[in-house]
Homo-oligomer: A and B are copies of this chain.
Amino acid sequence: MDAAALAGACMEAMWEVDATSRSNGISVVSVAPGEAVLRMEVGPGMVNWHDTCHGGFIYVLADAAFGYASNTRNQRMVAQYCTISYLNPAKRGEQLTAYAIERFREGRSGIYDVVVKNAAGTVIAEFRGHARAVAGTILAEKS
């Protein structure tokens, strides 16, 4: 399997057990080695005062994109340290898209940058996630 096919296979395997994304209306638009694009609509259960999206749910979307991007090479990676900067509010009903790319990968460590934008292209948040490899693969080992 080449790297792009492997990334796709890892995504399919993760998606099957990804209750969190499904229960929050998050969908995977695409993956590539070290990259992922995810989408979420700001639902009525995600808003707070003034009908703006709760920061926690913007984080959930960004973190999910980080998780898919960091697990595209069939090496299991877990989140270790994440930061998020809230730059513009997101409104109820808006479509948010998170674009995750790999900024650094070496040995057991990886750094991933995720930008979250609305449909108009306004930047809602910038996220940076640090992942660390743990034992295990995403795809089941062949017996």
Give every chain B residue within 8 A of A49 (Cβ-Cβ): 14, 17
- In the assembled complex, the Cα of A60 lies from the Cα of B47 at a distance in Å of 13
Return the chain B residue nearest A84 by Cβ: B82
- In the assembled complex, the Cα of A20 lies from the Cα of B42 at a distance in Å of 11
Give every chain B residue within 8 A of A57 (Cβ-Cβ): 20, 60
Contact assessment for A81 and B82 in the assembled complex, using a CB-CB cutoff below 8 Å: no
Contact assessment for B109 and A87 in the assembled complex, using a CB-CB cutoff below 8 Å: yes
B64, B80, B111: the one within 8 Å of A56 (CB): B64
- In the assembled complex, the Cα of A83 lies from the Cα of B66 at a distance in Å of 15
Count A interface residues, CB 8 Å: 42
B48, B78, B103: the one within 8 Å of A19 (CB): B48
A residues 46-86 touching B (CB-CB < 8 Å): 46-49, 54-57, 59-60, 63-64, 67, 78-86
One digit per residue, 1 when the CB lies within 8 angstroms of any chain B CB and 0 when it does not, for chain A 70-112 equals 0000000011111111111000000000000001101001010
Contact assessment for A83 and B82 in the assembled complex, using a CB-CB cutoff below 8 Å: yes
Contact assessment for A48 and B17 in the assembled complex, using a CB-CB cutoff below 8 Å: yes
| A126 interface contact, C-beta 8 A | yes
Closest chain B CB from A115 CB (angstroms):
8
Known: A81-B84, A81-B86. 5 other contacts (CB 8 A): A20-B45, A54-B60, A57-B60, A85-B111, A87-B106
